[in-house]
Homo-oligomer: A and B are copies of this chain.
């Protein structure tokens, strides 16, 4: 609440968020990806959550029951796939902050992964949802990397203004809640989306 310079505007800002307000961000991305898949636009999936399985009960053979398991730290980002021949790779995060996105929300190895795939020709980025503002930004992994480096000995977050300046705002829609491929078309592939 401390870094919140525009509190008076919050009611107005909320009104700008769409019908997707309240929907889980992951669900919004997944619905978008389903739309892309169903309409043969792109094939992009969320990876399953990595789990370390310790113990499984096979007594009911039709449905082996995992009885002890633990979450593992992901080695990569959550989403990848293909669009118009390009390998797409990104991490999606949300923040309740109205002013900035804390760098600690992204693991270092995820930033390294984004850099790796970019080096090999991928389109890689993060998508950040400012829940309280109803605003979603795509930020290229090169900038993510720069801001990560800065966070080592300076500011530990990316400000909303920096997303506005260096990122691209994604419009929310009904059937494509987070239509990030419109950004890819406009700024990466320079071709209008079908």
Knowing A43-B117, A66-B68, A66-B69 are in contact, say whether A122-B82 is a contact too (CB < 8 A): yes
What's the number of copies of this chain in the assembled complex? 2
Complex Cα–Cα for A15 and B67 (A):
39
Option from B64, B70, B85 in Cβ contact (under 8 Å) with A64? B70
B residues within 8 A CB of A188?
none
B residues within 8 A CB of A49?
48, 51, 53
Q: In residues 38-54 of chain A, which contact B (Cβ within 8 Å)? A: 40, 42-43, 45, 47-51, 53
Complex Cα–Cα for A150 and B69 (A):
40
Q: In residues 177-194 of chain A, which contact B (Cβ within 8 Å)? A: none
| Complex interface bits, A71-88 against B, C-beta within 8 A gives 1, otherwise 0 | 110111000111111110
Option from B43, B63, B69, B113 in Cβ contact (under 8 Å) with A43? B113
Q: In residues 13-52 of chain A, which contact B (Cβ within 8 Å)? A: 37, 40, 42-43, 45, 47-51
Count contacts on A: residues with CB < 8 A to the other chain: 40
B residues within 8 A CB of A83?
120
Option from B37, B47, B84 in Cβ contact (under 8 Å) with A48? B47
Check if A116 is an interface residue, CB within 8 A of chain B: yes
CB distance from A146 to the nearest CB of B (A): 21
Check if A65 is an interface residue, CB within 8 A of chain B: yes
B residues within 8 A CB of A64?
70-71
Residues of A with Cβ closer than 8 Å to B? 37, 40, 42-43, 45, 47-51, 53, 63-72, 74-76, 80-87, 89, 113, 116-117, 119-122
By Cβ-Cβ distance, the 3 closest A-B pairs, closest first, are A85-B121, A48-B50, A66-B69
